[in-house]
Chain A
Amino acid sequence: GAGVSQSPSNKVTEKGKDVELRCDPISGHTALYWYRQSLGQGLEFLIYFQGNSAPDKSGLPSDRFSAERTGGSVSTLTIQRTQQEDSAVYLCASSPAHTEAFFGQGTRLTVV
């Protein structure tokens, strides 16, 4: 596709359920980033990938959060046993060789 695609665009889930958020980066982009943005707040780094490996997972808030990337392309961010504090917009971005990042529209997650 022409840009970074994230799905779903909105997700409402019950507390305690698991959710999967998907990111389709721009074809050929080697770097992929996940960020979280709470209402009115800045960008909180979660994890990034270079190819399929994740050199920096330091931003994942807890062991309930995990992410993987396959084939150097699609990435999935999984949140297990969701809590209300997980409610936020989850943003994915991709980048060719660490130049500017191209962002998706985000997934708005609401935990009720």
Chain B
Amino acid sequence: GNSVTQMEGPVTLSEEAFLTINCTYTATGYPSLFWYVQYPGEGLQLLLKATKADDKGSNKGFEATYRKETTSFHLEKGSVQVSDSAVYFCAPHRSYSSASKIIFGSGTRLSIRP
């Protein structure tokens, strides 16, 4: 089965700082990789994804690259904003037909200071 290890939070940064949130996983085969974000008071939503090795997912200035060699999918942003304050979850998931649950990382709470 899949498992995921995600950087512990909380993470507090100043606006315009560089962000990295580490995520490593173990999985059978080659899963698709996802980052989800939960803004205060809201439900989870997909932030970005990558479906095969060396793919880069990107959205809202965030990026993550599927690294098969290191089984990692680290989330990065070059210049964070106050509006990026949220909880971020990494999730590997097999995307072929055999049914499986989605395993989420423990979540990393990010707070950005103005």
Asked if B42 and A105 make an inter-chain contact with CB atoms under 8 angstroms apart, the answer reads: yes
In the assembled complex, the CB of A21 is this many whole angstroms from the nearest CB of chain B, namely 14
**What sequence of 0s and 1s flags, for each residue 6-49 of chain A, a beta carbon within 8 Å of any chain B beta carbon?**
00000000000000000000000001010100000111010010
Bound together, the chains give a CA A91 to CA B45 distance in angstroms of 12
Q: Is B100 part of the contact surface with A, judged by Cβ < 8 Å?
A: yes
- Chain B 1-47 interface residues, beta-carbon cutoff 8 Å to A: 32, 34, 36, 42-46
Q: What is the interface of chain B mostly: helix, strand, loop, or mixed?
A: loop
**What sequence of 0s and 1s flags, for each residue 94-108 of chain B, a beta carbon within 8 Å of any chain A beta carbon?**
111101111111110
Query: What size tier do the contact residues of chain B reach?
Result: 20 to 34
> How many residues of A are counted as interface, with CB atoms below 8 angstroms from the partner's CB atoms?
25
**What sequence of 0s and 1s flags, for each residue 34-69 of chain B, a beta carbon within 8 Å of any chain A beta carbon?**
101000001111100100000000000000000000
Residues of B near A99 (CB, < 8 A) are 32, 95
Bound together, the chains give a CA A22 to CA B36 distance in angstroms of 23
In the assembled complex, the CB of A25 is this many whole angstroms from the nearest CB of chain B, namely 14
Asked if B43 and A31 make an inter-chain contact with CB atoms under 8 angstroms apart, the answer reads: no
Asked if A98 and B106 make an inter-chain contact with CB atoms under 8 angstroms apart, the answer reads: no
Residues of A near B99 (CB, < 8 A) are 31, 48, 50, 55-56, 98
Contacts A50-B99, A55-B99 given; indicate if A103 touches B44 (C-beta within 8 A): yes
Instruction: Point out residues on A near B: beta carbons under 8 Å.
Output: 31, 33, 35, 41-43, 45, 48, 50, 55-56, 59, 91, 93, 95, 97-106
* Sample (11) of A-B pairs whose CB atoms are under 8 Å apart: A33-B102, A42-B104, A45-B103, A48-B99, A50-B99, A55-B99, A56-B100, A59-B101, A98-B95, A98-B97, A103-B43
The 4 A-B pairs of least Cβ separation, nearest first, read A50-B99, A42-B106, A103-B44, A43-B104
